[in-house]
Structure 1
């Protein structure tokens, strides 16, 4: 009848017959044999729902409710884990220090957990980060910080740039350069946390080398073989006696020159008496105390964080008018360049100059000054200052080649080596006059 009315054929291979509990087994067999179908399973399900319904709806939907609740619990558990992941990756990026709490909050990018590891002194009443920033000069109150913080914390804090214009601190995602969360960075952090929880985390003394560190090494104005040598040092690829001994390629790890200790990278470069003579006899006249440098990579990283800013002021014909140089803490070469551009603008503003063009040999920093793209959190306070201070009618930014910026580089190097003459602006050194100035 169904086939005649609908025009469709019945698929007996997929058909079944249901019987009530009162029907006998003989009747089951007889009807199924006559129709050519099998007996349906009363407990079978289709699309997750039971094929037959009993009188108890609670019993019918019980399993379905349990599945829904189970999925909801898994979803809630995932949300909680996601919240914990965000807590691990979010921190404050200091601008003026008005929102972040000094001791409790996460705001120091280069420390473990982004927090101050030093213990809070019992007499300390400081709450917000802004309380350790000089409100007039926009610099850290170093003398106070030196009393409270360990060396590692102090260096990490001093490397954080402060906004010259009062601006609220920003809550950022640490694991992307822009500070904006991405699924890729979140997955990488979750994988790292899982890896560390299994006991495979690196020793606390290990140092993770970022892109800025390597860029600073490759940008050094030294022969390529020197840059390659230091790359081998940081990768622990030098064939020291201790390294060969550990790889069972040498019978002992003792220094073959002085015989006073194992020839590690640090011993080879700093502690061996023969090496000390090289350091002291060089133009650096550097004395190295025994055992003072325990990790050459960390020592180099600390050196690179110190920077000297140099600004050269010229007229439209290229004549030297003025200039300045000052030291600062910087976590990368790009941050130091941003510091220098801000210093140049503040200098032009103090001299009440108009129609000023600021040049720099860092193309990426110049682009950030011109275009309204999200700056890297590492020096966002500086870039936001430059954008906020600069007036389109009075200042412009342009990129120049490094060879065109030799004068500023010479001033910076001379200042760093403490050989910059006091009157270098009025009387530039004759040997540098035509070459750089």
Structure 2
């Protein structure tokens, strides 16, 4: 730092020769000589700390002036912040680039040599917590498919199976490093269904085809798999850490308990193990059969580890079949509904026309479970209730209700833009999609790309708004969505009313008067 040797000698004599006394009942007692040098809370400590910290601050400022370290800006015209120093902590800001990180490392090494300090000798509790959580993050991160170019089919976690999020079908035809974009038809923003069904087991192919793709084809994105909306929370990470800790304390072996030969991986246990591959690995295995057999294998494995006798293969198959039969006997399909979403709007039960010079587009989605496909219906009307344009489109993918509603909303935005409408209200009966578009709830990863595509295409309109209507008030859109079952690809009507909608549209107009 350039201080004279005499001044340094005087300071060091203060650091190494001081003695403490303790005042007890008003009298000084004892002569305490510290052996570890100057400590925190000593009267001389703040001054010496500022002198040493100033040298590091000067190094950082010089690097910033030379342009080798940029720092952080809170807005465009604000100054760059490179560091904040506190009494017991220091914060350094830089860009997330290799060059900036190398420069920070260089500055700290220079400071270390000059002051004989040591980086990270006694890291804070927060830093130790971050380091301890590092193994948890990769375990619960999975890919949200955009264009599929970053995600490896066989190596990465991207499928909608919460157990592993990895592909369990045996690798065939394609190379092990093939990426997911190979399975996508970019011209139609859809999956190459024939190829998907050829590569994967039936139940897995249907799940992959149920992943909605956006026409915008955004980049693939990593999301947090431990929460429904894909956002990291400390609470979810805590429970994962506790599970990992308990599993580690059990000290279980990695050897498969069924055959006792290979490592116990998911693909080995369910596909390649001699004990289970004849039953689980068949291409004709349904999703229900696969899940029931896998559950039986898992129970058998846990029983073996707790000292029970292993079950025969035949008994496991019978147990799985009995479980499926019992489940189907008590299952009420009407009882399975989307979780309730808190309403943020006043939903109506009847259709209302828009004001003059504004159009209203009603939209709905339909699921054709027996055909493994879905339908989308769009109806655009003016302030008189007259049909301006309509669309009925079939999606040859086994999408669920929420996914097809999101895809339908994306389809109506693109269709209205192509028709040439500038001022429009988009109205649907999916409250969850409505809330996500209004920002009152976060979009689940399953529909996030479709909603981002909607927001992107909205830039084409002069004005737009979203409205929610109850299902009984959205009958024309529902009927035209059901009509998609009879359509090979799509059918559009421009300035023409579909004949099968004339009656219900007339009723809408009369009810609005």
TM-score (norm 2): 0.48
1:163 to 208, 214, 218: 214
Give per-residue Cα distances to partners, 1:189-245, cap 9 Å, x unaligned.
Answer: 33344566678xxxx9xxxxxxxxxxxxxxxxxxxxxxxxxxxxxxxxxxxxxxxxx
CA displacement 1:157-196 (0-9 Å, x = unmatched) = 1121212113211122122344231111211333344566
User: Residue in 1 aligned with 2:423?
Assistant: 355
Following superposition of structure 1 onto structure 2, how do residues 256-275 of structure 1 map, counting pairs within 5 Å? 267=325
400 and 124 in structure 1: CA distance in 2 versus 1, 3 angstrom threshold: same
Change (3 A) 1:331 1:182: farther
Question: Is 1:316 the equivalent of 2:411?
Answer: no
SS in 1 for 2:437: helix
Paired residues of 1:109 and 1:174 also in contact (CA < 8 A): no
Partner residue in 2 for 1:397: 465
Post-superposition shift, 1:374?
5.3
Q: Point out the more displaced range, 83-92 or 113-122.
A: 113-122
Q: Which residue of 1 aligns with 2:165?
A: 114
- Could you tell me whether the CA contact under 8 Å between 1:362 and 1:399 is conserved in 2? no
**More moved, 70-79 vs 397-406:** 70-79
Q: Which residue of 1 aligns with 2:135?
A: 84
Matched position secondary structure for 1:116: coil
Residue 426 of structure 1 corresponds to 498
With over 3 angstroms needed to count, the CA separation of the structure-2 counterparts of 1:117 and 1:267, relative to structure 1, is: closer
Q: Structure 1 CA distance, aligned partners of 2:225 and 2:326?
A: 37
Instruction: State which structure, 1 or 2, has the greater radius of gyration over its C-alpha atoms.
Output: 1
**Corresponding position: 1:407 with 2:476:** yes
Question: Residue by residue, what CA displacement relative to the aligned partner does 1:80-132 show, whole Å, maximum 9, x if unpaired?
Answer: 54111101111111111121112111122335321111121155476221121
Q: Secondary structure at the match of 1:356?
A: strand
Determine if contact 2:224/2:231 at 8 Å carries over to the other structure: yes
Paired residue secondary structure (2:151): coil
SS across alignment from 1:112? coil
Q: CA deviation digits over 1:329-362, x for unaligned, max 9?
A: 4665333221111111222233333333321123
Give the direction of change, closer, same or farther, for the CA distance of 1:389–1:317 in structure 2 (3 Å limit). same
Distance 1:372 1:394, change over 3 A: farther
Structure (1/2) with the larger strand percentage? 2
Deviation at 1:79, TM superposition (A): 5.1
* Deviations, residues 353-411 of structure 1 (Å, cap 9, x unaligned): 33333211234423433559853322111011011111263452321321321222233
Query: Which residue of the partner structure matches residue 346 of structure 1?
Result: 414
> Structure 1 CA distance, aligned partners of 2:392 and 2:248?
50
Structure 1 gaps, min length 5? 1-7, 19-39, 41-46, 48-68, 205-260, 276-294
**Which runs of 5 or more structure 2 residues have no equivalent in the other structure?**
1-20, 33-38, 40-119, 251-265, 267-318, 338-366
Q: CA deviation at 1:417?
A: 9.3
Pick aligned residue for 1:382 from 432, 437, 450: 450
Give, in whole Å, the separation in 1 of the partners of 2:321 and 2:169.
Answer: 34
Change (3 A) 1:429 1:347: closer
- Residues 192 and 328 of structure 1, relative CA distance in 2, 3 Å threshold: farther
Q: Spell out the pairing of 1:144-155 with structure 2 (5 A cutoff).
A: 144-155=195-206
Given that residues 335 and 379 in structure 1 are in contact (C-alpha distance below 8 angstroms), is that contact kept between their aligned partners in structure 2?
yes
Aligned-residue Cα RMSD (Å) equals 5.0
May I ask how many residue pairs the two structures share in their alignment? 307
In the superposition, relative to structure 1, how do residues 406 and 142 fare at CA in structure 2: closer, same or farther (>3 Å)?
Answer: same
Corresponding residue of 1:191? 242
Aligned counterparts of 1:436 and 1:405: Cα–Cα separation in 2: 9
Residues 145 and 14 (structure 1), Cα distance of their counterparts in 2 relative to 1, 3 Å cut: farther
Q: Structure 1 residues 152, 396: CA separation in 2 closer, same or farther (over 3 Å shift)?
A: same
